[in-house]
Amino acid sequence: LVWVALIYSIFSTVIAHLVGRKLKNLNIDRQHREADYRAALLRVRDHAEQIAFYNGGEAETGRLKQRYLRIRDNWRRLTNCEFRQETFWATYVRISIFIPILATLPMYLAKTMTFGDMMQTRTSFARVQDSFGWFTDAYRRLIEWAAVIERLSGFQTALEQAEQKSPSLQSHQTDLPHHSGKVVLQNLTVYTQTGSPLLTDIHLQARSPEWVLLEGRSGIGKSTLLRVLAGLWPYYHGSFSLEGSRLF
């Protein structure tokens, strides 16, 4: 019966994986869609006044509904897959109860084994089955853990790629001498995250308490330049120096 339990466990494990192999991708997708929906809700809450000024309530409601429908679609597919997996698991448990009984029934009918011996055999088989069938019993939990690990791994990979791209755009940065209350920009070029230039070859010198006005059409990179000076935007090429706690 030990070999029967082992073979049955291996067979059940393979079937469990075939039935529930989509659970990991569905769980990863669920985390992404729920995170997008939460981010959209936070954005609407933080910009509620601006949305009201522009009468954008209907448009924002439509966007939120689209994101919610994506969550609902994912949950339906996830629920259907979990239902199939749980149905297989319940069938697997029920069959494992009858295997030792069917195996020992001929000996019991031939009166070479007592009913007590049959129950002891069933108990022993159940213990062996629990050991061999751990993977099948914990399959759903393992899949959920695998989904979390894969998403965190993807996030870590994205961070490493961003760190690798940053030095390539700053390879020609040099330190300039610092002067109190002064900002100096030399040959500064600001890029997008994909490496496309926004502002190129900027030369600027200003000293406090002077005022500097950055003027231009929307989208050319004015705010991004300020992010570079504040240390929030690593995608630039060139050099700059600034000092003074009240520079901006």
Q: How far is CA 181 from CA 174, 184, 241, 244, in A?
A: 19, 10, 10, 4
What total number of domains does the chain contain?
A: 2
What is the mean pLDDT of the segment spanning 193-221? 85
Assess whether 48 and 76 both reside in one domain. yes
Cα–Cα–Cα angle for 135, 139, 145, nearest 5°? 115
34-65: per-residue pLDDT in tens? 999 999 999 999 998 888 888 888 999 999 99
Beta bridge partners of 188: 202
Half-sphere exposure of 139 (CA within 13 A, CB side): 27
Residues spanned by the domain of 71: 2-164
Assess whether 53 and 85 both reside in one domain. yes
- Decide which of 114, 134, 164 is a domain's last residue: 164
CA–CA distance, 178 with 175 (Å, rounded to integer): 9
**Beta carbons of 208 and 244 less than 8 angstroms apart:** yes
Assess whether 120 and 212 both reside in one domain. no
146, amino acid identity:
A
- Decide which of 164, 194, 209 is a domain's last residue: 164
Q: What pLDDT score was predicted for residue 91?
A: 85
Q: What pLDDT score was predicted for residue 178?
A: 47
Does residue 172 lie in a domain region? no
- 204's torsion region: left (phi>0), alpha (psi -120 to 50) or beta? beta
Cα–Cα–Cα angle for 9, 75, 47, nearest 5°? 140
- Decide which of 138, 164, 190 is a domain's last residue: 164
- 111's torsion region: left (phi>0), alpha (psi -120 to 50) or beta? left
121-167: per-residue pLDDT in tens? 878 777 777 777 777 778 888 888 888 888 888 888 888 877 776 54
Structural tokens at position 176: 């300039």
- pTM for this model (two decimals): 0.56
Assess whether 55 and 138 both reside in one domain. yes
